[in-house]
Amino acid sequence: MINKMKDQIEQIKVTSIEEVKNAKDLRELNDLKVKYLGKKGELTSVLRGMKDLSAEERPVIGGLVNKVRDELNELFDSKEKELEEAELAKKLEEEKIDVTLPANKPKRGSKHPLNRVIEEIEDLFVSMGYDVVDGPELETDEYCFERLNLPKGHPARDMQDSFYITTEHLLRTQTSAVQARVMMANEEKSPIRVIVPGKTYRREDDATHSHQFNQVEGLVIDEGITLAHLKGTLEVFMRKLLGEKTQLRFRPSYFPFTEPSYEVDVSCFKCGGKGCNLCKQTGWIELLGAGMVHPNVLKMNGYDPEKYSGFAFGTGLDRLAMFKYGITDMRYLYRNDVRFLTQFDQLDR
Amino acid sequence: MKLSLNFVKDYIDLPEDLTVEQIAEDMTNHSSEYDEAGKLINATNLIIGEVIECEAHPDSDHLHVCKVNIGKEVLNIVCGAPNVRKGLKVIVAQVGAKLPEITIKKGMIRGQESNGMMCSMLELGLESKFVDEVDKTGIHELPTDAPVGEDPIKYIGLDDEVIDFELTANRGDLLSILGMAYELGAIYNKPVKDIDLAHKENNEDINDSFKVVVNTENCSLFTAKKVKNVVIKESPEFIKSRLIASGIRPINNVVDISNYVMLETGQPLHFYDADKLDGMLEVRMAQNGEKLTTLDEVERTLHDENIVISDGKRAIGLAGVMGGLDTEITDSTKNIIIESAIFDGVKVRKTSKELVRSEASNRFEKGLDPNRTYMAQERACALLEKYADAEVVGGIAKYDTTNKEDKKIEVKFKEINQILGLNIPDEEILEIFTRLGFTYEKKEDGAIVSVPTRRIDINIKEDINEEVGRIYGVNNIEGILPALPMRRGSFDKTTREIRNKMIGMGLNETLSYVLVGENEAKMFDTSDTESIKLLDPMSEDRNTLRNSILPSLLNIYKYNEARYNKDVSLFEIAKTFYKKGEEFGEEQHLAVLMSGEYYQGIGTSKNVDFYIIKGIAEEILDYLGYKNRYSFVTDNSKIAKEFHPGQSAVISVNNDAVGSIGKVHPSLANDVFVMEINLDKLLAKKVGKMKFKEISKFPSVNKDLAIVVDKNLQAQEIEKQIKKIGGSTLTEIKPFDIYTGKGIDEDKKSIAFNLVFSDSTKTLNDEEINGILNKIIDGLQKSLNATIRN
């Protein structure tokens, strides 16, 4: 009896090992587990026959069954792991994709080169404690000219052919118009440090002049402001935009709202001042107008010229943007060809 | 201002080794910038020759084969000029000569050797207005006594160097050789020589037979002198060549002298034929409609802002601008009245801008020195006596209200150095005054400077400071940053952040013109404002300020479409303009235009439709903090006709319209979607601060609800009702499916919502949720006639 049972157990062990080995998937393996180790499984039913055994024999068979069950459990576990891994591998293989296919995404945006330059300038001056302010583009004659020491009939008005709307209203010809606004708006007449980037308009249109263009104006008013401060500030400004080696040259000039007035050249960043096509062989590129705020302008806008002095500067941004990105024709800036715009799609670094 | 170096050297000795380029550079650094600097005649390798043989070319009907003696050798030259002939003295460009257009090489012309070229003045680069007919058709003919082998340019007196300055509006004093001499004198520390005014005058007094009357406040100084018995002839060589170098065409000795004196002194003169006057000159304002034919033979109609010179009866000259034809100097003129005067610059400027610009008006506009007005009279008399055999009548007829004293301006050394940021010793500052030709009275801490009347631009101490700075050399100033209190600049970055957000969503930023055509300006705009037109536009297609950015974007779209750039997603932030009643206004707008593919990728590419651009609008509104406070409202009374009436909406925030969105009307463009938001109006609406809200510890419950409603009922309306009934436990509501067709009545649609319920204090049970759901269903049935879809 006991030997017959031992044989039976051995037989179960041999066939089950064989079947487990051949199991193809987790489902088949699970079926086998039920078949051999389940409540109604073959090994359990062997135990049921133990009631016919003697008290001495029972532990022998019980021990044997437990040993085989442990062995089988271990076998099932390892086979299960093996099958799981195989199935995962198969699944991963099936999920393989071509990573070189194009991405799914919205079109790529881009920032206009002119605004890129404006932002760079804003950041620089904000870091030096300047406020960034804005003013109307549709200005009055008073703010655009008269409060800047340019009365009606002044010959310097010829420098800026204007788009008038009425005899008293025009599109601002210069961001300098905001100078007077800032001074007038400051009720305490306290020190001023501002830049004004924005659109300006003049009645001219050719290959190098657009009737609409952009300027940035700078104005500092405080006690003891000197020409040397203007020079130092413009050096920082131009070197940030055009490179640390940039040199400045001041040439006497005339603007009714500054005294003294200068036109400021920068050393040609293309040839380094040796002379090239860009600088017309002069080594210099004219870039800014600047000067010390005229005492009449201070007075007219409520500042005491005996107490305060100041400097102001202005520069055209269209050319700066062209220089910075190597844009060959100013008209590209306003044509808005998508093939132009999309070139400015990355971080300025 | 073209400065002839030969001319200015009459008044100043410049350092010998100075080149014209160096002078131009020094002037640029200390005074005024220049356009061009160089020789008047740029051609090289020229020599005077004599044609000693001149035979017709065997193989040509117009060429000649010539032998030309140039002193050191005899050249064989083939020449095509009709006036070439034996015995003629000519200008020969030798082999290797560089002329403006060509370089001369050895060559064969139809089989005949040619070793040089005989030239006309035109070929040497002289402007055509200075060239006579002979030179225009043939070669230049030198006088018979021209010395063979010499430099022809020197011989004809055009060996000059010229700097063309760009003068600023304040430096009218530099519109004269004398002014330039003072400027160069200050830079190089050289004295300016006196001008020769010496002449004889006869015993008569002009005031016995002639008077001047001024009947307007626009003339501060008017003088007249008379000369008799002038002989009109060609001017001497030096006058002609200096006029040419200065850009003025020589006419005859008398006319040339008036121009020459103007160039020297800066004071424009006018010469009248005295015999055509009636013993007087009057200055007055023109009458409206008064007619005058000027020297250029144009009849001009005047008005009461034009200053005129009258002979007592009628206008005979446009003061400061141009003389009249009737009283001009002719070949038969014998006696001359010389006018030297100062007219109001603003009036002259207006008149010359309206009618005609001239060398004279340019000088009047910038202001004149009354002392020079007299000097110019004397100088003209001296030259007329010398070069036109004139007899100068004694005395001067005048009207004079001017101040001819030096201006006294007190300056402080400390202030000068302070504003310049320099440390110039007092003595050096005083030396600069001397170099400038200013006298001074030294004070303890400064000086009282006497500024001569020629420097009309110097009126206040700041002007003197500037003089010191520029003569000292502003490039010697060391730049430093002002030591200002540390602070962070104030800067509203909202616009920039909106720009960055738009770019992040895949849009390309544009920059367009604010000026558009009149019929474009109000497109896409339904506000009750007008657009603003320019008084004097440059062209019809840019004569009005735009009320909306969208017409510009639409033009940009069309520009790109024509170039096969079909996928465009554009945005721009810019000002728009309007007129309301008599008030002008401007507003910052954000405009978007999208067309073609937006999402890219295989299987996922998607063309722009209304819901994509609506997504852009919602993203920007959410980002700016207006979440749950905006709606898209169909209201055709507020939607511009440029929109598709069935695919457009007003964007409303806090129930106030801030913009519009939709498809562009198919009559304007195909499948183009746009939106525009008034940023000034939008950003004025306050938003709360971002604030953390406790996350509910209890699970939320999702329910779907599908109802059948009227086909035209908008989802937003249903949502509103659901929200009202759902109360605070209904935290999210989102339509996710729309169905029409089989199983649904034709005038109905099925719409399904996903509802999320949650409560921060407890877990909601089925009973509670079903209770709310049933209330919602009941409510929708009552208010919207909705039924549950099974």
Q: Do residues B287 and B353 share a domain?
A: yes
Closest chain A C-alpha to B603 CA, distance in angstroms: 9
If phi over 0 gives left and psi between -120 and 50 gives alpha, with beta otherwise, what is residue A116?
alpha
Residue A159: pLDDT above 70?
no
In a domain, B282, yes or no: yes
Q: For B482, how many CA atoms within 13 A lie in the half-sphere containing its CB?
A: 29
Tell me which residues of chain B, numbers 363 to 392, contact chain A at a CB-CB cutoff of 8 Å: 365-366
Query: Which of B359, B385, B400 marks a domain boundary?
Result: B400
- For chain A, give the mean pLDDT: 90
Question: Does any CB of chain A come closer than 8 Å to the CB of residue B615?
Answer: no
Residue B233 is classified by DSSP as -
Residue B445 is classified by DSSP as S
Instruction: State the pLDDT at residue A157.
Output: 72
In order of A193, A287, B2, B337, the CA distances from B165 in angstroms are: 35, 19, 6, 33
Q: By residue range, what is the domain housing residue A39? A: 2-94
The residue-averaged pLDDT of A54-82 equals 86
For B423-439, the pLDDT digits (tens) are: 899 999 999 999 999 99
Predicted confidence band at A153 (pLDDT cuts at 50, 70, 90)? confident
In a domain, B486, yes or no: no
Tell which of A126, A182, A231, A338 to mutate to test the B interface (max B CBs under 10 Å).
A338
**Residue A304 sits in a domain of what CATH number?**
3.30.930.10
Q: For B591, how many CA atoms within 13 A lie in the half-sphere containing its CB?
A: 25
In a domain, B693, yes or no: no
Q: Do residues B74 and B150 share a domain?
A: yes
Burial B758-779 (b: 16+ CB within 10 A, else e): bbeeeebeeeebeebbeebbeb
Q: Do residues B627 and B749 share a domain?
A: no
Task: Give the three-class secondary structure for B121.
Answer: coil
Question: Which residues lie across from B633 on neighbouring strands?
Answer: B650
Tell me which residues of chain B, numbers 546 to 575, contact chain A at a CB-CB cutoff of 8 Å: 556, 559-560, 563, 565, 567-570, 574-575
**Which residues of chain B have a CB within 8 Å of the CB of A308?**
none
Tell me which residues of chain B, numbers 418 to 437, contact chain A at a CB-CB cutoff of 8 Å: 418-422
For B466-500, the pLDDT digits (tens) are: 999 999 988 888 889 888 888 777 888 999 999 99
Q: Do residues B779 and B675 share a domain?
A: no
In a domain, A12, yes or no: yes
CA distance linking residue B416 with residue A290, whole number of Å: 18
Residue B71: pLDDT above 70?
yes
Instruction: State the pLDDT at residue A281.
Output: 83
Q: Do residues B16 and B59 share a domain?
A: no
Q: Do residues B721 and B653 share a domain?
A: no
Instruction: State the pLDDT at residue A160.
Output: 62
Tell me which residues of chain B, numbers 653 to 712, contact chain A at a CB-CB cutoff of 8 Å: none
Q: Do residues A155 and A82 share a domain?
A: no
> What does A54-113 look like in DSSP terms, one character per residue?
-TTHHHHHHHHHHHHHHHHHHHHHHHHHHHHHHHHHHHHHHT---TTSPPPEEPPPB--H
CB contact (8 A) between residue B482 and residue A107:
no
Q: By residue range, what is the domain housing residue B173? A: 2-40+161-188
Closest chain B C-alpha to A39 CA, distance in angstroms: 39
Number of structural domains (chain B) is: 6
Q: Do residues A152 and A46 share a domain?
A: no
In chain B, the residue whose alpha carbon lies closest to the alpha carbon of A104 is: B601
In a domain, A63, yes or no: yes
Instruction: State the pLDDT at residue A190.
Output: 93
Q: Do residues A85 and A199 share a domain?
A: no
For A42-60, the pLDDT digits (tens) are: 888 877 777 778 888 888 8
The residue-averaged pLDDT of B512-533 equals 93
Q: Do residues B59 and B170 share a domain?
A: no
The tokens for B20 are 């014209």
**Residue B300 sits in a domain of what CATH number?**
3.50.40.10
Q: What contacts B320, CB < 8 A, 6 or more positions away?
A: B268, B307, B341, B343, B347, B348, B351, B352, B360, B361, B364
Q: Which amino acid is at B311?
A: D
CA distance linking residue A231 with residue B480, whole number of Å: 7
In a domain, B695, yes or no: no
Q: Do residues A238 and A137 share a domain?
A: yes
In a domain, B762, yes or no: yes
Instruction: State the pLDDT at residue B752.
Output: 93
Instruction: State the pLDDT at residue B790.
Output: 67
CA distance linking residue B86 with residue B417, whole number of Å: 71
For B342-357, the pLDDT digits (tens) are: 999 999 999 998 888 8
In a domain, B53, yes or no: yes
Q: Do residues A133 and A34 share a domain?
A: no
Q: Do residues A335 and A202 share a domain?
A: yes
Q: Do residues B508 and B610 share a domain?
A: yes
Question: Does any CB of chain A come closer than 8 Å to the CB of residue B600?
Answer: yes
Packed helices B370-387 and B253-265: angle between N→C axes, nearest 10 degrees: 150
CB contact (8 A) between residue B586 and residue A137:
yes
Query: Which of B474, B505, B528 marks a domain boundary?
Result: B474
CA distance linking residue B782 with residue B773, whole number of Å: 14
Number of structural domains (chain A) is: 2
Contact B677, B734 (CB under 8 A): no
* Nearest of B453, B24, B366, B462 to residue B168 by alpha carbon: B366
Nearest neighbour of B509 by CB, restricted to A112, A220, A251: A112
Residue B453: pLDDT above 90?
yes
Question: Does any CB of chain A come closer than 8 Å to the CB of residue B498?
Answer: no
Q: Do residues A128 and A89 share a domain?
A: no
Question: Any alpha helices (H) in B176-315, and if so which ranges?
Answer: 177-188, 206-209, 237-245, 253-265
**Residue B129 sits in a domain of what CATH number?**
2.40.50.140
Contact A228, A266 (CB under 8 A): no
In chain B, the residue whose alpha carbon lies closest to the alpha carbon of A332 is: B511
* Nearest of B670, B671, B668, B645 to residue B660 by alpha carbon: B645
pLDDT, greater one: B395 or B743: B395
In a domain, B690, yes or no: no
Q: For A187, how many CA atoms within 13 A lie in the half-sphere containing its CB?
A: 0
Q: Do residues B383 and B416 share a domain?
A: no
Q: Do residues B112 and B143 share a domain?
A: yes
For A101-150, the pLDDT digits (tens) are: 888 888 889 999 999 999 999 999 999 999 999 999 999 999 999 999 98
Q: Do residues B235 and B381 share a domain?
A: yes
Tell me which residues of chain B, numbers 442 to 461, contact chain A at a CB-CB cutoff of 8 Å: 460
């000369």: which residue's tokens? B227
pTM flag (> 0.95): no
- For chain B, give the mean pLDDT: 92
The tokens for B606 are 């998607």
In a domain, A223, yes or no: yes
For B666-696, the pLDDT digits (tens) are: 999 999 999 999 999 999 999 989 898 888 8
Packed helices B359-366 and B253-265: angle between N→C axes, nearest 10 degrees: 30
Q: Do residues A54 and A142 share a domain?
A: no
Closest chain A C-alpha to B569 CA, distance in angstroms: 8
**Residue B8 sits in a domain of what CATH number?**
3.30.56.10
Q: Which amino acid is at B557?
A: Y
In a domain, A335, yes or no: yes
Q: Do residues B380 and B232 share a domain?
A: yes
Q: Do residues A66 and A117 share a domain?
A: no
Q: Do residues A65 and A154 share a domain?
A: no
Question: Which residues lie across from B211 on neighbouring strands?
Answer: B280
Q: Do residues A153 and A234 share a domain?
A: yes
Q: Do residues A119 and A79 share a domain?
A: no
In chain B, the residue whose alpha carbon lies closest to the alpha carbon of A339 is: B565
In a domain, B758, yes or no: yes
In a domain, A99, yes or no: no
Q: Considering just the CA atoms, what is the radius of gyration of chain B in Å?
A: 42
